[in-house]
Amino acid sequence: MPPAKKRPRSYDPVKIRAAVQAQFGSVRAAVRTLTPEQLTQPTRLGDWTVRELAVHIAAAAVESVSRTIDMEPPAKAELALLDWPSATVDPVLAAANADRTRELAREHQDIDALYDRTEQRLAERLAVTPGERLLATRPGSMTLADYLVTRTIELVVHSDDLNAAVPGLDIPYDRQALAACTRLLADALAVKAPGASTEVRIPPFAVVQCVEGPRHTRGTPPNVVETDPMTWIRLATGRTEWRKALADAQVSASGERADLGGLLPLMG
């Protein structure tokens, strides 16, 4: 008999809304401190500069919430929350995203004004829009409540990208945003590799079972992977390679089915 389908994790919509706004507020505060020289520095995202990354966070990742709320709602939801990470792994979508980011960077010369406007529009739209409202997002139509969970990934991951590009920037991570980001990516792994032979532990936020094989029922699982939230997020999004994380002792993996290298990254 096949294993029962995993029940989607639920997220508190009030906490998620607050987390998205809090993490964007932290990014906004940090971006305001960047010098013209720092804005021209490279990032680990191909040929994107710090300035292009900063514009992308506001004008694309966060403004997309307000922009899609302002659009006519689609007739039905096409994308479940757990399907969103894999839906982003699309070369055509990635290329369009990169082109759009460069276009936005040329369009928005005043970054402070961009962040102020984005923050205000987000607050106004979230104050009056219910979570069940459908949005026509690029990967597929989904509810506002689900889309906001995906924004925690965008914001946490790109906060980390900025921190990596600008030594000493130290954008903090909102705990709820970090938790939601960690949990959604962990659940996405379980969807990609269904099974119960391997336990992946990301304390204090997530534990999932995945990978086909003998099902573990009691005691210590024979196949265990454990890491911290930020290392997991970097692995899941391709910022860190599995072998390097193992070599640097950022991940512990025991058991013949504990090698997740072939399953990562989960999204680009």
* Per-residue model confidence (pLDDT) at position 2: 44
* Per-residue model confidence (pLDDT) at position 6: 58
For residue 182, give Cα distances in angstroms to 24, 28, 87, 108: 17, 22, 18, 31
For residue 48, give Cα distances in angstroms to 40, 54, 139, 161: 9, 10, 22, 11
Q: Which residue has the higher pLDDT, 24 or 109?
A: 24
For the chain, the average pLDDT equals: 93
* CATH 1.20.120.450 domain residues, the chain: 13-176
* CATH class of domain segment(s) 13-176: mainly alpha
* Per-residue model confidence (pLDDT) at position 107: 87
Q: What is the dihedral of CA 38, 44, 49, 53, to 10 degrees?
A: -100
Per-residue pLDDT band for 5 (boundaries 50, 70, 90) equals: low
pLDDT at 41 over 90: yes
Per-residue pLDDT band for 100 (boundaries 50, 70, 90) equals: confident
State which H helix or E strand residue 224 sits in.
Answer: strand 224-227
* Per-residue model confidence (pLDDT) at position 3: 44
* Per-residue model confidence (pLDDT) at position 104: 86
The arithmetic mean of pLDDT across residues 176-186, rounded, is: 98
Q: Which of 16, 15, 12 is nearest to 149 (CA)?
A: 16
Highest-scoring range by mean pLDDT, 23-32, 106-115, 205-214: 23-32
* Per-residue model confidence (pLDDT) at position 147: 98
* Per-residue model confidence (pLDDT) at position 213: 81
Name the token pair of 25: 């507020």
The arithmetic mean of pLDDT across residues 17-21, rounded, is: 98
Per-residue pLDDT band for 22 (boundaries 50, 70, 90) equals: very high
For residue 124, give Cα distances in angstroms to 18, 113, 167: 13, 17, 34
State the number of CA atoms in the 13 A half-sphere of 254 facing the CB.
7
Rounded Cα–Cα distance for residues 7 and 28 (Å): 35
User: For residue range 102-122, what is the model confidence (pLDDT) as tens digits?
Assistant: 888 888 889 999 999 999 999
Per-residue pLDDT band for 222 (boundaries 50, 70, 90) equals: confident
What 3-state class would DSSP assign to 120?
helix
pLDDT at 1 over 50: no
* CATH 3.30.1050.40 domain residues, the chain: 179-263
Quote helix, strand, coil % in the chain, to nearest 5. 55, 10, 35
What 3-state class would DSSP assign to 227?
strand
pLDDT at 178 over 60: yes
Cis amide bond preceding 36, omega within 30: no
CATH code linked to domain 179-263: 3.30.1050.40
* Per-residue model confidence (pLDDT) at position 227: 98
Q: Which of 64, 63, 36 is nearest to 50 (CA)?
A: 36
Q: How many Cβ atoms sit within 10 Å of the Cβ of residue 36?
A: 7
Q: How many Cβ atoms sit within 10 Å of the Cβ of residue 196?
A: 19
* Per-residue model confidence (pLDDT) at position 105: 81
Per-residue pLDDT band for 217 (boundaries 50, 70, 90) equals: low
**What is this structure's pTM?**
0.94
pLDDT at 92 over 80: no
User: For residue range 52-91, what is the model confidence (pLDDT) as tens digits?
Assistant: 999 999 999 999 999 999 999 999 999 999 999 999 887 7
